[in-house]
Structure 1
Amino acid sequence: MSDGVIFGDDVLRTDRLALHPVSMSDHSALLAHWTGPLVRRYLFDDKTLSALEVTEIIAASQRDFATEGYGLWALRAAARGDAIDGVPPASTLVGVAGLRGHGADVEIVYSLEPDRWGQGLAEEASRAVLDYAFDVLQLRRVTAEIDAANGSSAELAERLGMRPHGDPGHYQAERVSWHGSRHSIDA
């Protein structure tokens, strides 16, 4: 447990979000989210994913949770009776955040529905994921690869305490220097 953070059963909770490991029940919501033109522009190099590719991503995440302790989390409004801008708790998919890769090459990834941009939700979810990576999993380093045209994500990486590393658009955070501000997260 990190300062003000409680983790349990691979579920993370922040003040406004509930992060649950993606499952096949999320398939249609993920397909719609990841094929949206604004989301796929930076996340999938403007490639439209097929339903089969979404199935494969979900299956890979489930395998990673079973073997590595991490994967992708579906983001929804926290089920505390609160709504995010009028959206009822635990209903609509707000986005995705998580970790992928293995060994020394674990990368944080995230995406939000465009109508949720600018609300601080990507930062809130990413902090929860990084806290989990460093405090629970004890990972040494987490990286991020950001499209050069995506200035908002580069700014977010820096607000998270990630620093440029190597090639342009590559960032990393080290456990020994992790100074992310803590947001209330519970299981």
Structure 2
Amino acid sequence: MSDVLRTGRLALHPVSMSDHSALLAHWTGPKVRRHLFEGVALSPTQVTEVIASSQRDFATEGYGLWGLRDAGTALDHALPDGDLIGVAGLRGHGADVEIVYSLQPDRWGQGLAAEAGRAVLEYAFEVLRLRRVTAEIDAGLADVLGMRPHGDGHYAAERSAWFGSRHTVDV
């Protein structure tokens, strides 16, 4: 099983320590930070911890965080290439697996969050066979991904309903 995911426009590779500088810059940018980590800028040590946690999760759970890059700059399926434009992935354990994502602000409004989200949900449901994935995301993106309200401000996609609908993402 490969942990590399590809879409029409994106290549998703598990984050590694070689992504540290790019992740630090991405997650500490003021526009991105406003939506993540309760608005607090992560320290370099915290970024190291997030990457290490993702690597442990890939080893034990089969999922973690993927770095997003333009598919055209990531020609080798095994190795990431090109600039990091965001992150998408799964975190949590058991019945509490959540989809997460962030994009560089200059990439907002292009449908890339939906494209990455669909790839992650397909992986969650087809490869990992998870029953449900939750999210705290924008209502419009939740709808595009086939996620339904699940508590206050949260959404969920159930495996059986998601497969039945086979949501497509317009790009």
TM over 0.5: yes
Q: CA shift at 1:80, angstroms?
A: 6.6
Gap regions ≥5 residues in structure 2: none
TM-score, length of structure 2 as denominator length: 0.90
Q: 1: distance between equivalents of 2:24 and 2:53?
A: 15
How big is each residue's C-alpha offset from its partner over 1:81-139, in whole Å with a ceiling of 9 and x where there is no partner?
89xxxxxx931111000000000000000000000001111100000000000011000
Q: CA shift at 1:79, angstroms?
A: 3.8
- Per chain length, whose mean CA-contact separation is higher, i.e. which structure has more relative contact order (CA < 8 Å, sep 6+)? 1
Q: 1: distance between equivalents of 2:67 and 2:59?
A: 17
Cα gap change, 1:180 to 1:54, in 2 (>3 Å): farther
| 2:149 aligned partner, one-letter code | P
Task: Tell me which residue corresponds to 1:166.
Answer: 151
Task: Tell me which residue corresponds to 1:156.
Answer: 141
- Is 1:64–2:49 an aligned residue pair? no
Task: Tell me which residue corresponds to 1:102.
Answer: 93
Task: Tell me which residue corresponds to 2:132.
Answer: 141
Cα gap change, 1:71 to 1:50, in 2 (>3 Å): same
Percent identical across equivalent pairs?
Answer: 74
- The RMSD of aligned alpha carbons is 1.7
Q: CA shift at 1:44, angstroms?
A: 1.4
Among residues 124, 127, 133, which one is paired with 2:115 in the alignment?
A: 124
| 1:157 aligned partner, one-letter code | A
Cα gap change, 1:123 to 1:180, in 2 (>3 Å): farther
Cα gap change, 1:166 to 1:63, in 2 (>3 Å): same
Gap regions ≥5 residues in structure 1: 1-7, 83-88, 147-152
Q: CA shift at 1:61, angstroms?
A: 0.2
Structure 2 counterpart SS, 1:65: helix
Moved over 6 A (4+): none
TM-score, length of structure 1 as denominator length: 0.83
Q: 1: distance between equivalents of 2:47 and 2:74?
A: 30
How big is each residue's C-alpha offset from its partner over 1:24-66, in whole Å with a ceiling of 9 and x where there is no partner?
0000000000001111111111101000000000000000000
**Contact between 2:73 and 2:82, CA under 8 Å: does it hold in 1?**
no
- Is 1:181–2:167 an aligned residue pair? yes
**Contact between 2:10 and 2:116, CA under 8 Å: does it hold in 1?**
yes
Q: CA shift at 1:14, angstroms?
A: 0.4
Q: 2: distance between equivalents of 1:176 and 1:81?
A: 33
Structure 2 counterpart SS, 1:109: strand
Cα gap change, 1:62 to 1:175, in 2 (>3 Å): same
